[in-house]
Structure 1
Amino acid sequence: MGQGKTIIIMLVTLVIGFSCGFLLRPVIAPAQQAALAAAVPPAAPVSSEARGTQYFMANIDEARQVVAGCRDGSVRGGECATAEEAIIKVDAAERRRRFLGN
């Protein structure tokens, strides 16, 4: 009998708590303030997407310039990794070509 009363008291307390939360929601976070927070544009403009590995493999000189810029800190972002990957692939293909004598 004591456990039944405890469960009922807990359920009533939860129902009252949730009800108060829904009733006080407009007071805690007004709709206008929530809408303004959702509508704020990002602080920094979004740059164009990073060029892919295939682009850098076709333009290996530009890939080497990007990697040099990444090392000295003037270039940041996804292009650093893709340019370096392209250089590695082109160098490996060149070594393979020299090794096989093609």
Structure 2
Amino acid sequence: MNFGTAIKTCREAKGLSRAKLAEDCLLSPSYITLLEQNKRDPNLSVVNKISKALDIPPSILIFLATDKENFESFDKELAEKLSLITLKLIQNAADKSS
């Protein structure tokens, strides 16, 4: 799982700084940095806090964190479509909250 990239992608799509995300999650900015750099893995409680702060379902964050190797059994076109749909959902939610 690559939670760092997923968190960073969603955070940037929402236009949030690391400091703002940390504040919204009641976590330290340095911990958010460690997560985004893949130096720490979040537990389920942290995934839930971050998902809530990003206003996305935890399942979306987990989906985005899934390593490409886990999609090898998927049709490549289907995996790509699922990823694009997920990112569009995040962007639409960000647009609505702006």
TM-score by length of 1: 0.29
Relative contact order: is structure 1 or structure 2 higher (C-alpha 8 Å, sep ≥ 6)?
2
